[in-house]
Amino acid sequence: MENKVTKIGVLTSGGDAPGMNAAIRAVVRTGIYNGMEVFGIMRGYSGMIENDIVPMHSRSVANIIQRGGTILKTARCKEFFEHEGRKKAYNNLKKLGINGLVIIGGDGSFRGAHKLSGEFDIPCIGLPGTIDKDIAGTDFTIGFDTAVNTAVEAIDKIRDTADAHDRLFIIEVMGRDAGYIALHSGIATGAENILIPERKTDIEELVNGLLEKEKT
């Protein structure tokens, strides 16, 4: 018979993304509603190793739903890459009786959770938080919608200037190796061309296409 999860820890790790605070609030209040004790782990895996873990109550997450960033802070943690670091983190969780984790983060955060869960048999749930939408198995990620809308707002303003001066603007958005922000914001703002890292761009073809469109 599986042990029942009675105390959960929630953390945010990796790059911050709009909506993380709303996710923390949902985890804390849902956990309490279901009779669990909830603990906030500060600064991601760093806080887990340094035992910077605080009890969370309904009031702890009041008035945070609209705020950007994360009230639990976030940090990269090299020590967690090593088995000794993960063991230290697990021992801190064990002392507090935490027997389940909710990780709000991206690809690297989930890899860390997967290792911790495999080595110490602690169940983990991952909430995908990244503006890039580059996590397989999810349609949307926390922060993606805000990133696209922020890009659209900026592009709309730039477009007014482009129109006034009969100029062409090349706009770069974030996303690293994933072209989702470019694709969605480009479609939403009627871009002439959308260049994404998943597809090779022929610059000559691009220029000729733009010249043709200008003639039209």
| Residues with catalytic roles | 132
Choose among 213, 212, 172, 169: nearest CA to 196.
172
Cβ-count burial of 50 within 10 angstroms (0-12 exposed, 13-18 middle, 19+ buried)? middle
Choose among 89, 33, 83: nearest CA to 58.
33
Residue 25 is classified by DSSP as H
185 alpha carbon, distance to own chain's centre: 18
What is the rounded distance in angstroms from the CA atom of residue 40 to the CA atom of residue 205?
Answer: 52
